[in-house]
Amino acid sequence: MLLTTLVVLLAFRLFYRFWSGRCSSKRSLAGKTVVVTGGSAGIGKESAKDFLRRRAKVILACRNLEKARKVAEELVAETGNPKVAVRRLDTADLASVRAFAEEFLRTEDPLHVLVNNAGIAGSRTRQETKDGLELTMATNHFGHFLLTNLLLKRLQQSDCELGAQTTIHLAVSEELDRVSGKYFEDCKEATPTRIARDRAVAKSVWEVSEAMVNLRPSEVNY
């Protein structure tokens, strides 16, 4: 029984690796600056590792600084690239988002790739942040919505690439340099759900998000 289970798992793994999209670009990111939110684990960590191997400067924007610093040391040892920094960012806390953005804009110059990766799973019971936002939405959406708006002008002033394999593909593939606003899956453009294509819903979500994060006129960069 155990042997059968192992065979099935191995077959599934091989099938998944064969059919899943993988980034084949060898493009160097030397001279580029990349911010990865939630870069101390999972897809964020793997993305950061790849960016460092491509000689980019990577900023791990994480809530747990102690954990992020240990991960940064691991990444330097694995990639040989010492250009990794750790900055505190809690996307569930709008004050933290603004503080991170202010520090970045004050101490860093270009921003070529912003990877909005941080996220948490939803809870069965409603939990609110100190800003009065539902915790999951604040962490996964509102915090990144505000962060992107605050850093958008710097992204536009830089070489303005948008950033696991699909994230890396979007960040480094030459043919996607001028592609924006699209949905990708397994390194290929895909069709999002019907509701995601509803422009009225998108407009409503944007306007509500502006209000919920109290986006100030001075922070609007579009």
Give the up-direction half-sphere exposure of residue 219: CA atoms within 13 A in the CB hemisphere.
18
Q: Radius of gyration (Cα) for the chain, nearest Å? A: 19
Q: DSSP alpha helices (H): ranges in the chain?
A: 2-19, 42-53, 65-79, 94-107, 135-137, 143-157, 165-172, 199-212
- The whole-number pLDDT of residue 20 equals 59
The Cβ of residue 79 has, within 10 Å, a number of other Cβ atoms equal to 19
Q: What is the pTM of this model?
A: 0.68
Structure confidence at residue 163 (pLDDT): 39
How confident is the model at residue 159, as a pLDDT? 52
The gap between the terminal CA atoms of the chain, to the nearest Å, is: 59
Which pLDDT does position 161 carry in this prediction?
40
Residue 135 CB burial class (10 angstroms; 0-12, 13-18, ≥19): middle
DSSP 33-66: EEEEETTTSHHHHHHHHHHHHTT-EEEEEES-HH
With tokens 């959406």, the residue in question is: 141
Q: pLDDT (tens digit, 0 to 9) for every residue of the chain, 222 residues total?
A: 545 544 555 555 545 555 556 777 888 889 999 999 999 999 999 999 999 999 999 999 999 999 999 999 999 999 999 999 999 999 999 999 999 999 999 998 899 999 999 999 888 889 999 999 999 999 999 999 999 999 998 988 775 744 357 778 878 888 888 888 888 877 878 888 888 888 898 899 889 999 989 888 888 887
- Give the pLDDT of residue 171: 80
